[in-house]
Amino acid sequence: MCGRYTVTRQEGLIEDLEAALDPEAPKNEWWKPRFNVAPTQPAPVVTLQGGARVLEMMRWGLVPFWATKPGAKAPLMINARVESIDAKQVFRDALERKRCLVPADGFFEWKRAGKLATPLYIHPWPHRFVAFAGLWARLRLESGRELHSFTIITGPPNELVKPIHDRMPVVLDRSAWAAWLDPSLDGAGAHALLQIPPVGDWRADEVSTWVNKADHDDPTCIEPVTHPPPAQGSLF
């Protein structure tokens, strides 16, 4: 799964995003660097609206259309598995008509060994923006307000992530961004774009358990942990 990620907007990254996606939304001032995006929080998402790429904030965790019915409890749909994306109508419909790009520059996974869980920050180096394949939904609440929400598509891991976790977000190749947003592409064509991303220049850095708490959202979350060399035994 993908349960935490970053969109840090470090120096040069916001310009890279704007150049690559050409969003029509206001720039630079309306969203802040995020070092630990967690489920249910708002995060920037790119959709195609009226032929233009638009960057807007959406809730992470797709909320289905029936969530406003009396007694209905919406599940926390933060991820959609690529292997079974056609099994749920809400995902199947979104794959046809409501695809989005989720800007990011890395994500977190925890490598488990017994009771120990070591957080790792998995990201391209040097830092740059990438786009996770996402789906989004529009829900009209009883108040009349619209809630926009999204989910990140996950698939099998590549060779870098495989020793850490059995899932990873689908990172779309930049050449596929336009096609993913293109409304003329049907669900089958979109599904064909969901490939296991190559390792390329990505790496996995151990980080501190500071990132474990969702309300920790600062550069400490992505700082690599350095382990001191083992003490040398006395020669005498």
Write out the catalytic residue numbers: 2, 109
Strand partners, 205: 121
Hey, what domains does the chain have and what are their CATH numbers? Answer: 5-107+129-198 (3.90.1680.10)
pLDDT of residue 26: 46
Residues 90, 138 contacting (CB under 8 angstroms)? no
pLDDT digits (tens, 9 = 90+) for 83-99: 999 888 999 999 999 99
Which stretches of the chain drop beneath a pLDDT of 50?
Answer: 25-26, 28-29, 70-71, 234-236
pLDDT of residue 94: 94
pLDDT of residue 54: 82
pLDDT of residue 13: 53
Give me the sign of the Cα torsion angle 54, 186, 42, 204.
negative
Name the 3-class secondary structure at 77: strand
pLDDT of residue 28: 47
Say how many C-beta atoms besides its own lie within 10 A of residue 200's C-beta.
Answer: 11
